[in-house]
Structure 1
Amino acid sequence: MSDTTLPAPRNALRAAQLKELRGFAKRFARNPLGMVGLFIVLLLLFCAAFAPWIATHDPYLPTLTARLSAPSAEYWFGADELGRDIYSRLVYGSRLTLLIVGLVIVSSAPIGLLIGVVSGTVGGWVDAVFMRITDVFLAVPKLLLALAFVAALGPGIVNAALAITLTAWPPYARLARAEALIVRNSDYVAAIRLAGGSEFRIIVFHVIPMCLSSVIVRMTFDMAGIILTAAGLGFIGLGAQPPLPEWGAMISTGRKFIFDQWWVATIPGAAIFIVSLGFNLLGDALRDLLDPHLRQRN
């Protein structure tokens, strides 16, 4: 009899989770700007996943006879100074953009989350040491700090992502610490301590889950900043190296032709703007849905 009754709570929990997910999707669909941001992000993912099939030319193969060709039926967004198709380079460049964003997010967010949660939950000298280190990183502008690190490490995609990671984790630590300070004084955490729960168990199973929604929203907003920082490093030659189709490097090589052949630099710049806007719109929508105060207001 126990075998037939045990799955019932699991099924009820699964049904409740599916209902909550459907409700979240319906609320998200009522946000038109959020849908625009989601469409842009999905389009970026589509271009990165299917680049070999949707690109019209080899992004690395120069065609000197088509050098600086204007947008046309053959070259949709024109050709660059070596006759390479700008549209195809943008499509393949989306892979580099997502690679840098992914490397930074999967490294900086967990680091900042762990430091902030431990600092806010444990307190005392641990909190003081962690927050002073965080203040040191926050005191220096992100791009300047990234320039210093990538100049020391050397140019390249991995080094650029590592340099951005070293500048991106402090906001997550501050945010997680603020959330942890609230959660650690809650009644249910006090009850867990009275029941003999360790600090490790409280941090892993109770404090971190309460911080995840804020961290996810922060991650979405930070993606636009990561793209801009990576493009800035590529623009000055410290990011992805030629002939890789990185958008910032494409703007750098096209700036010499900005007045006569405007498409060489303008179209990669427009791609950076649109993708950054998409992540910001998506972040705004997620913040409105995941913030409990805004949900109560709505």
Structure 2
Amino acid sequence: MSAASWRDWLLTDTPASRAQAAWGQRYRLWRSFRAHPLALGGLVVVMLLIATSLAAPWLATHDPAAQNLAQRLQPPSAQHWLGTDELGRDIYSRLLHGGRVTLGMVVAVVTLVAPVGLAIGCVAGYAGGLLDRVLMRLTDVFLAFPRLILALAFVAAIRPGITSAIFAIALTAWPPYARLARAEALTVRGTDFIAAARLTGASHARIVLRHIAPLCLPSVVVRVTLDMSSIILTAASLGFLGMGAQPPSPEWGAMIATARRFILDQWWVPMVPGIAIFVASLAFNLLGDGLRDVLDPKQR
């Protein structure tokens, strides 16, 4: 089948099956997303960051933990593309491996908080009454504390490390998703199709899972994408303060922490991981803006 035939098949107004209708809707969303060049650029940068992080063992030119004091604080050169740090370690190699740590923490946090926030918000919005009040007051308690301060307190209560940092960020990141999902659930719980589902004998769990959660999911996905930049900054902040990844782990925040005293003389040592954090945060923000325009019907 030619490309034109595929396009006609996807864009038909009379799909012959549910699968054709679903793929047609996905194709229309992709066409709308493709019309936003900044969002498309953000998607490309995010995919490049993920690809280079996954391929770090093959793309790195040096061992990220190998020290060479004779080559310490060397400027960018043909041997060391982004220079060396205070222990003579290759910054380019550490940057690639650090992306695995930082982006891996982001993925782990999102995997934890998005389902939890979506579930709490959908249940609270659909159930209402006492359960709604209890869940939302619990959410307000977590929202009352600044994210970084609460994460620092949680990590300090356990022990510094990547695992503790992931759970600390997850502990502070789920309330906005719960609030958003609850707001979406409140708008649909009184609709006719929910009443029809009840009349057919559908259980409350089935209504939440099959009818309410799918309608709340697009808004949560957009919020997750927009929130990834703040998760990156929180993870880097914990590493910078010594509560996240521990040396010699090449995490971007920890790299800035150990190199901050060289910012005036050997500027490339702290600036390179700082630029990586900035680029990753900006790319996720641009991607989130594009997804918001595509998935939110109020923005169309």
> TM bucket by the smaller chain?
over 0.9
- Give the structure 1 partner of residue 161 of structure 2: 156
- Give the structure 2 partner of residue 95 of structure 1: 100
Q: Distance in 2 between matches of 1:52 and 1:195?
A: 55
Question: Identity of aligned pairs, percent?
Answer: 58
- Paired residue for 1:122, among 118, 127, 131? 127
Q: TM-score, normalised by structure 2?
A: 0.93
CA-based RMSD of the aligned residues comes to 1.3
User: SS at 1:197's partner residue?
Assistant: coil
- Give the structure 2 partner of residue 260 of structure 1: 265
After superposition, residues 172-191 of structure 1 pair within 5 angstroms as 172-191=177-196
1:110 Cα deviation after fit: 0.8
- Give the structure 2 partner of residue 43 of structure 1: 48
User: SS at 2:77's partner residue?
Assistant: coil
Q: Which runs of 4+ in 1 moved over 4 A?
A: none
- Give the structure 1 partner of residue 232 of structure 2: 227
Unaligned runs of 5+ in 1: 1-8
1:197 Cα deviation after fit: 1.9
After superposition, residues 105-254 of structure 1 pair within 5 angstroms as 105-254=110-259
Q: Distance in 2 between matches of 1:229 and 1:236?
A: 10
Q: Distance in 2 between matches of 1:119 and 1:68?
A: 55
Unaligned runs of 5+ in 2: 1-13
1:17 Cα deviation after fit: 2.2
- Give the structure 2 partner of residue 281 of structure 1: 286
Q: Distance in 2 between matches of 1:162 and 1:190?
A: 38
Number of residue pairs aligned between Structure 1 and Structure 2: 287
1:21 Cα deviation after fit: 2.1
Q: Distance in 2 between matches of 1:149 and 1:181?
A: 32
1:74 aligns with 2:92: no
Q: Distance in 2 between matches of 1:151 and 1:10?
A: 56
The amino acid that maps onto 1:31 is H
Q: Distance in 1 between matches of 2:142 and 2:179?
A: 12
Alpha-carbon displacement from aligned partner over 1:53-85 (angstroms, at most 9, x marks no partner): 111111110111110000111111110000111
Q: Distance in 1 between matches of 2:146 and 2:70?
A: 44
Q: Distance in 2 between matches of 1:188 and 1:16?
A: 20
